[in-house]
Structure 1
Amino acid sequence: MDKSSVLDSLIPKETQKKILESVFRPPEPTQHTMLYRLCRSLKEYGLDPPTTDQIISEVGEDYENQLSLGEVKLRKKELFTILEHSVFSRMFEASMRSRNDEQYSLNYPGGDEKQATVKAWTAPYIGDAALLLRRTLDRMNSGRGDALYANYVPIVQSSGTGKSRAVDELAQQVFTLPFCLRQEYSDTGYPVADKDVGEILLGGGGALVPSNRTVAAVGMDQGVFLKHLFKAAHEDLSAMPTYSSQEALAKAFHSRLRENNYRARFYERVCTKTSQELKPSRTALSLAMERKGSKETLEYEAAFELISLIRIKSGIPPTSKYEERGVDGGTGRKIWLCIYFDESHALTQKVIQPDSSQSRTAYQTLCWVLNRLRSLDLFTIFLSTQSHMSAYSPPKGLFWSERVINDTTPGVQAPICEMSFDNWSGGDQLAAPYQNTLQDVCKIAFMVRFGRPLFWSRYEAGDDDVKRTILSFARKKIAGNRTDKLNSEAELAVLMFRVGLSFDKTRVGVPQTEAKLVRGHMISCHSIPQHREFIYAAASSEPILAEAAAQLMDINNIWEKLAGTLFGLCNNGMIAKGERGELLARLLLTKAHDWVVYGLRSKDVLRPRRFTRPILLADFLEALVGKKNKDEIMKAKPNNTRNGPTLADSPLGQAALNFTHWAKAADDCSVTDNGAWIALTRCMAWQCCDGQPEVDLVTPLMLPPEDAKLGPYTVSAIFWQIKNRATPTRAEIDAERLGFFSYCEKPLSEEISAEIVNSRPYLTIVLNLGISNLRPEGKTGKPKPILSLSASRRISSRGSSFKTTYPRYALSISGCSHDTFPNLIPVADQHIYSSLLSPGNCVTDHARQDLENLEGIMQQKPLWGKANGKLKGSFVQYGDQSSRLCLNESQEEPVPTVEVYEYHEREGEDEGTVNFVEEVADVEMDGTC
């Protein structure tokens, strides 16, 4: 490793000079002090060097000679040659790895990737996010009154959602001074970073703020910078013509900033004048500035003059004088001047006076300076994917101003998260009915059109290599690094994309975890309440990211350890107890989908596999309940009409499904055929809305023929009801009553008549996950029936005129064990899966979940109960003979894992009246699948 070049990439040359000055400052250091000062300076910069004690321990007592400290002290060697010793290798490796990860998560491309990014960034803007942003800012400005800390707002959203592009579009509507504060170590990002601006805003010392600089002194630096910024803008604007509107002036200035390196020269002029003013006496000037009121500062005066000129240049007559906001707050006033700081996380990370009770970040200090301008119609925006929301807009109790904590300043703005989504460049419609087959929607070129603009803009602007590697790019965006390896947060993100994992926001640590997921792993921030105590974060429906998440699960063998991961999340309370039944169901169904894909590609050992693909319903059922059960299910007949075909001979026999993620419905859209074809188009399944009658989950089905186009008349669905009770439930689901099917009046094609459309079959499945069908170890007895056929209960009380149009195939699946799901739940993990459904208690929450440890807990009788699978019951030691409460298999009839409901009529009933009776025919099968 060339540590010299690596050091240059990590620490700018100017900062290295500051470190030299710090190390060799008076009094003249000893060799040991010199080493101590170097390590301390590196740590202040943000690296993680070893301590001097660690260096001595590793290098030995002869460390001064080993590190050539004497030659460095005599200036015969450069200071940073000390870092060439292997004792510093871990620091370099960790720092470069961190920087690479950060650069990738911030989308700093190189080579052809950069060209694609630039091309995508400069393409015509699509969508209304920028217009919404302007209206939102105007409403904020109008409603903030004279409140403190209310004239700025952060934009908090995950990567690739168009934050930078939105504020750039805003700059063409409102006169804007834009800044990109990207650090110097990354020179490949776009837009280009504004050099030297960050040095001043961070405290005038680059990465290292001198220890004698106070918060007030740094605030003074920032105020002087703003003063010269406003004056320079006023000077240049004076030479421009008068325009007809605010928007026309904004667009002209925006264009000027992009021409002939004007922006770089403009900010260089501002920084030069700022530095010249600050050099003579920072401290004296700081104290003088601090004593002045808000409206007496020089930056306030310069901003007032600039806004006055902006109004005149926008076509407002000079006779209409600009007036600052009065005590009435200025209701109805719009923004005239905007400033935004892109990639502003460096401001939140730089701490001034770190050892003082007055400690502040450079961001907090800048907000304090901007607050002095609150009487003007000026608004500032801060953008970053990298920092936590709490660093920008903390809740009231953690705010840095005592007046905010005491609720005397209610105007602090909640961060903006409303950015572009589903704004594809290909037209107003993302998808239209009867235009695409199920195979079409599984193509990458189709999937990228959904979700954030990052993927479709990059794909359409990129060359063949960029298109070919778009999935690899998506994987790395979720992982948050340049590899496909997952840390703990990335694993949570993958689960959120695949199974709709959500967290209990009342738990300590959940808001911080969700902030990390938004920051670095592509989870969307859907909403931020005004109190800012937490955020609403989730995985949005983005097929390209869902496919990438599926591939990451495959690459990292997530399925093998997923049960333990979920148990840990449930055990520490991060997942609400009421969510666990449906979560486990979504997990099993997703795993069944992936199991089919593994089978389709069993001969292909190359990873990652492609998971977005049509799979047959028959294969899906086999993955879910095993081949023997699947074969019997395929023989089932409808249970709501007589003389119906078997499931295998019906259109369901060749039906296909395709889902890589789940979407949450807000109403009954999930139980309509319009919702079904749209879900198939986006490669998703439905999690029904809270309170939805009869149905909890819906997995849409595409009916044959294979080349049929997706639309409401060509789809059906599996309707799932999830139960977590100790006794089986036989609830019936009536898709007709739910209004799922649209009526067709004319043929859809030569192959699809109106009669076929109006007799589409569907499948209903009740998952009785709470049934215990674990076989105790070493026990023998009556074989467990795996599947039984049963007559259905009566569906409806509708009169004798009722005639079923849409055949229903119905079954129930009971248990949560290897017997029930032989391909999905390993024998060794079945106790963990069943524990996921249990409410927290001293058994499920016990630190050691091995059976013998749990038996030791149960022997103390904290809870009395019957035998449960491998665990002995509380009554087993009472008497020589086993009691019925021991639940030996020979003493109690086991519940069949799969039960199929079939139609049955009583003899002698009128033809128009349907009556159902309970008849069960056990299917003789082995005890295992």
Structure 2
Amino acid sequence: MTSVQSLTRANIRQIRVFETTILPELISKGDCIAVRGDAFQLLLALFPYDVMGALGNDLLILERACEFEKYRDLQDALQRVFDQQRFQPLLDWLQGRRGPSLGTRTLPDPDPRKQSEMNAIIAAWNLPYHGDAAENLFKTCQLYMRESSTAQPRVLPFVQSTGTGKSRAARELSRFCMTLNVNIADPRDDRVYPPTDRAARDFLVECYKDFRHASIRDAEIRKSVRVHVQTFLRGLFECLTTALQDLYKEHTDSDMGYLDLAATLSRKMNEGGTYKEHNGFRKDFWDDVVDLADTSKAQHYAGIPDLPTGYYDVENNPLQTAARELVRWLEDHGASGPAPWLIITLDGSSTLTRNVGKHNDISLLSELENAMCDLHNLPIFIVVIGTVLQMYKPDPYSRHTPHADCPHTVVPFDIFTSEEKVPNNGSWRLERLASTRRLTHSGRALFGALYNAGDEHFQKNVASYACTKLLAYDPDRVLSGTQTLSALTVLLPLDFAPDNERERALIGRHMRLIISTNPETHTPLTISPSEPLLAEAARMAVERYSVDLPKALLSHLERPGVSAGTRGEVVSALILLLAINAARRPEDGPVSVSATDSHNDGLHRTVTVEEFLRALVPDKSIDDVLNLKPHDKQDREPLKSAFKDARIWLNHWARVEDQRVLQQKYLWGHLARGVGVICPIDTRSVDLVIPVLMRPEVRSSNIAPIIVRVESSWNATRSADMTFDWMDPFQIGIFDHETRGQVEVWPVLRLVMAPAVSKNEAGVVFRERSSEGTSPRGRGFSAYDIFFAGLLPQTYKVIQDNAVAEVYKDLFRLTGVCDLSTLDEAEMGQFPVWEGIVTARRAILEPWRLEGDAFDDTTP
């Protein structure tokens, strides 16, 4: 029987005709196709895997144990397929076949939520582009072309997590030069958008199938893969030249310049189509590319000597000729100035990085780089897009600038928030600040764009969509370890040791961002930035799947490579976050309900200070806490009166590295994102700060802090007075030190969390009021001081029993297990292009600083 690999490209197209026309007709008629025994194995070989996966049990009864001989007509049809090198006999059999009757079958209605998501994605893809990520990418391509030598490939890895706008930035390169986008990602992943260019992908992955079981010399395999890649590029260049010529002829009446032509090509390639299929123009283009590549490849193996081989005349081979003709045509039609003139973007890097057969040094990517080295004298560049950090490793033997192959990681962040500044005049209220719309517009551009483009159904369920994106898929009953880690890293600032496998998994599928890569080693520095919508999604996942966060965190910290800080600050932040989440549940706290208007539905995400304390403090101590008077201010009102209008909006924590962002105006920026502050390690006397809005009107002057100190000493109760005295909001920099005693400031709630205190002293302790008057260090503000001693149910309400207490004790013992690499801003600052990159990084690292700096401090 003829081998499967010898079937031609036309056969694959017949499969697609079968998939798109014949199968739907069979479904509508209620037919069921029976495929049994060895026939199933043959169909697996004949049909692309994604087609078989799409059919599933809806159309195929796959009973391998049944006798294939009972279906001689099918066996004959398959034999004719191989004999005639055509699929038509099989298609004829499938059309005429009547399988076992299973009754009338109808296609199920599409899931409304899924359909709404797909519609939003398609609509968002065509919205106006925001931000400068595409320009940064283009400038990086220009820089690498200037820096690279003849021995360096004109290939730039663009590596970043999912949902960060990489594909859209690649499309927008057409504003700067001629751009051709191709997506070769695995189409079985239903999250892939834009759709896979199947003709291009099918051609490229053929080389993996050819050598799956082959015992062939490395030189022969490398030569074959090289021919495979070069014939593909040759077909691309020739078909692109033809397509541009045709487009130019269609617009002979207009004065179409080079960039106009680039925009027209991009529009023709990307407009129209569906969630799963591109438009006809794009599909025909890649079909033509592959047909030409198939022909060239067949000629090469037939012995025609002028096609590229492993060893060939670089200057005179057809790949060079096709590329030069394309460049010459671009130059004749207005291309000029600094290179590149053409950028090819390949989305779906994992298709290129797989090793061919058992050969670790042979891949499509390695041969693509070799081909681009041969084209080093032409203004052509390739950007390979993916989430896989291993897609490109620096060559330790090459002698070139370390920047020449350093992955590009810059993506847009907070671009929608920057376009809608929060006025500092009290015109906004917390329900708007914490609204669904505001959440979607804070962070990566994905959710803001989808929210703007989506219908009402999508907008109401955007948090559920974000939850699915964060988890990568909806599990049946329980979350995997990686999924719980993805939720934890969004809620808490966990650190990873360099080159950590779990960190790479979070980047690849769970939306953790790469903030920097070391130019020498490409080791990444990653972060889960402040994104309130993703934090809501993580909270939703925890609630939906009943995740025990303390136990989940402990399970990850017990393995090497993950750190929760060195002071117990992250574990303490978890305790406070769990109390806030408990207060948000209807049975415990907020009486407010979600508004129907997603522009003003944020109140249900917030809690009052009293609701927070009722969820944090054990029942036997809560009345004493609420009636607590301020230290040194016996004539002042009790805590519950002082904070009666105060509300907290917090659903995640972030670590800051600059104590100056603890100022009141920056705390306002944190409040705008629903984020609590984990202070720098050298900040004396304070570890955590929770911003509190003291009045309904949102303005920076209405912000007061809850200051938290984590005291690790076992005898912390003996020095409680000194600890509280050092927790001075003026000394810390929250309030302006110059105004101490001159203006009235909001009262301050100060908490000391001392987990190491012995069991005998455990509980909630109140600081006794002094009768000696106001101390110099405390002058200028009223403080309500609460001391949490130990880790027992009598200390925190969220610790329900002694078993939970033991989990927390283990968490506090696990600290300081890894260090982070430092950012390489100083080195990168030598290059002008990095100014925009550093700014983009800072937008991700410290969005609250930009929020604070953007405020109009003019009072109404």
**Shared fold per TM-score greater than 0.5:** yes
Q: Does the Cα contact within 8 Å between 2:113 and 2:457 map onto a contact in 1?
A: no
2: distance between equivalents of 1:457 and 1:662?
25
2:159 equivalent to 1:168:
no
Total equivalences in the alignment: 719
Match of 2:319 among 289, 296, 299: 299
2:226 equivalent to 1:219:
yes
Match of 1:588 among 565, 575, 578: 575
2: distance between equivalents of 1:663 and 1:379?
38
What's the CA shift for 1:514?
1.2
Summarize the Cα distance change of 1:393–1:47 in structure 2 as closer, same or farther, 3 Å threshold. Answer: farther
The percent of aligned pairs where both chains have the same amino acid is 21
Higher relative contact order (CA 8 A, sep 6+): 2
The AA in structure 2 aligned to 1:162 is G
Match of 1:763 among 749, 768, 776: 749
Q: Does the Cα contact within 8 Å between 2:490 and 2:529 map onto a contact in 1?
A: yes
2: distance between equivalents of 1:231 and 1:222?
14
| Cα distance per residue 1:85-140 (max 9 Å; x no partner) | xxxxxxxxxxxxxxxxxxx9xxx995343222221111111111111111122122
Name the counterpart of 1:389: 389
The AA in structure 2 aligned to 1:124 is P
1: distance between equivalents of 2:43 and 2:291?
32
Match of 1:721 among 709, 724, 730: 709
Name the counterpart of 2:441: 449
Summarize the Cα distance change of 1:825–1:146 in structure 2 as closer, same or farther, 3 Å threshold. Answer: farther
What's the CA shift for 1:476?
0.9
Q: Does the Cα contact within 8 Å between 2:352 and 2:363 map onto a contact in 1?
A: yes
Aligned runs of 1:246-645 on 2, under 5 Å? 247-257=259-269, 261-282=280-301, 284=303, 289-292=309-312, 294-314=314-334, 316=336, 333-349=338-354, 351-352=355-356, 354-355=357-358, 357=359, 360-385=362-387, 388-390=388-390, 392-394=391-393, 396=394, 404-408=395-399, 413-424=405-416, 427-429=419-421, 434-483=426-475, 485-505=478-498, 511-559=500-548, 562-576=549-563, 578-579=565-566, 581-598=568-585, 600=587, 613-639=605-631, 641=633, 643-645=635-637
Q: Larger Cα Rg: Structure 1 or Structure 2?
A: 1
Name the counterpart of 1:789: 767
What's the CA shift for 1:238?
5.1
1: distance between equivalents of 2:623 and 2:179?
67
2: distance between equivalents of 1:788 and 1:743?
27
| Cα distance per residue 1:858-878 (max 9 Å; x no partner) | xxxxxxxxxxxxxxxxxxxxx
2: distance between equivalents of 1:459 and 1:309?
42
2:168 equivalent to 1:152:
no
| Structure 2 SS opposite 1:644 | coil
Summarize the Cα distance change of 1:567–1:702 in structure 2 as closer, same or farther, 3 Å threshold. Answer: same
| Structure 2 SS opposite 1:648 | helix
Higher helix share: 2
2: distance between equivalents of 1:785 and 1:488?
34
2: distance between equivalents of 1:709 and 1:298?
70
2: distance between equivalents of 1:359 and 1:529?
23
2:688 equivalent to 1:697:
yes
Summarize the Cα distance change of 1:43–1:359 in structure 2 as closer, same or farther, 3 Å threshold. Answer: farther
What's the CA shift for 1:632?
1.8
2:649 equivalent to 1:658:
yes
Q: Does the Cα contact within 8 Å between 2:482 and 2:502 map onto a contact in 1?
A: yes
The AA in structure 2 aligned to 1:683 is G
Aligned runs of 1:6-45 on 2, under 5 Å? none
| Structure 2 SS opposite 1:837 | helix
1: distance between equivalents of 2:742 and 2:629?
18
| Structure 2 SS opposite 1:809 | strand
What's the CA shift for 1:14?
7.2
2: distance between equivalents of 1:818 and 1:581?
19
2: distance between equivalents of 1:822 and 1:815?
13
Summarize the Cα distance change of 1:796–1:496 in structure 2 as closer, same or farther, 3 Å threshold. Answer: farther
Q: Does the Cα contact within 8 Å between 1:45 and 1:208 map onto a contact in 2?
A: no
Q: Does the Cα contact within 8 Å between 1:697 and 1:720 map onto a contact in 2?
A: yes
Q: Does the Cα contact within 8 Å between 1:679 and 1:700 map onto a contact in 2?
A: yes
List gaps (5 residues or longer) in structure 2.
1-10, 18-36, 54-61, 82-89, 91-110, 272-278, 595-600, 817-860
| Structure 2 SS opposite 1:790 | coil
What's the CA shift for 1:454?
1.7
Summarize the Cα distance change of 1:793–1:130 in structure 2 as closer, same or farther, 3 Å threshold. Answer: farther
Summarize the Cα distance change of 1:588–1:727 in structure 2 as closer, same or farther, 3 Å threshold. Answer: same
| Structure 2 SS opposite 1:153 | strand
Summarize the Cα distance change of 1:697–1:233 in structure 2 as closer, same or farther, 3 Å threshold. Answer: same
Match of 2:133 among 123, 129, 134: 129
The AA in structure 2 aligned to 1:114 is M
Name the counterpart of 2:789: 814
1: distance between equivalents of 2:170 and 2:270?
15
The AA in structure 1 aligned to 2:583 is V
| Structure 2 SS opposite 1:662 | strand
Q: Does the Cα contact within 8 Å between 1:147 and 1:410 map onto a contact in 2?
A: no
What's the CA shift for 1:345?
3.0
| Cα distance per residue 1:604-629 (max 9 Å; x no partner) | 9x99x999622121221232221332
Q: Does the Cα contact within 8 Å between 2:764 and 2:786 map onto a contact in 1?
A: no
| Structure 1 SS opposite 2:500 | helix
Name the counterpart of 1:712: 700
What's the CA shift for 1:222?
1.7
| Cα distance per residue 1:15-42 (max 9 Å; x no partner) | 899xxxxxxxxxxxxxxx9799869969
Summarize the Cα distance change of 1:626–1:275 in structure 2 as closer, same or farther, 3 Å threshold. Answer: same
2:763 equivalent to 1:804:
no
| Structure 2 SS opposite 1:824 | coil
Summarize the Cα distance change of 1:360–1:44 in structure 2 as closer, same or farther, 3 Å threshold. Answer: farther
What's the CA shift for 1:432?
5.0
What's the CA shift for 1:380?
0.7
The AA in structure 2 aligned to 1:180 is N
The AA in structure 2 aligned to 1:581 is G
What's the CA shift for 1:186?
7.1
2: distance between equivalents of 1:38 and 1:795?
91
List gaps (5 residues or longer) in structure 1.
1-10, 18-32, 50-58, 82-103, 317-321, 323-332, 397-403, 746-753, 776-782, 842-929
Summarize the Cα distance change of 1:427–1:565 in structure 2 as closer, same or farther, 3 Å threshold. Answer: closer
2: distance between equivalents of 1:765 and 1:187?
48
Q: Does the Cα contact within 8 Å between 1:217 and 1:282 map onto a contact in 2?
A: no
The AA in structure 1 aligned to 2:807 is I
2: distance between equivalents of 1:580 and 1:72?
74
Q: Does the Cα contact within 8 Å between 1:681 and 1:710 map onto a contact in 2?
A: no
| Cα distance per residue 1:437-473 (max 9 Å; x no partner) | 1222232122111111221221221112212221221
Summarize the Cα distance change of 1:261–1:629 in structure 2 as closer, same or farther, 3 Å threshold. Answer: same
Name the counterpart of 2:857: none
Summarize the Cα distance change of 1:37–1:455 in structure 2 as closer, same or farther, 3 Å threshold. Answer: closer
1: distance between equivalents of 2:628 and 2:586?
25
Name the counterpart of 1:870: none
2:731 equivalent to 1:737:
yes
Q: What value does the CA root-mean-square deviation take over the aligned residues? A: 4.3
Q: Does the Cα contact within 8 Å between 1:243 and 1:315 map onto a contact in 2?
A: no
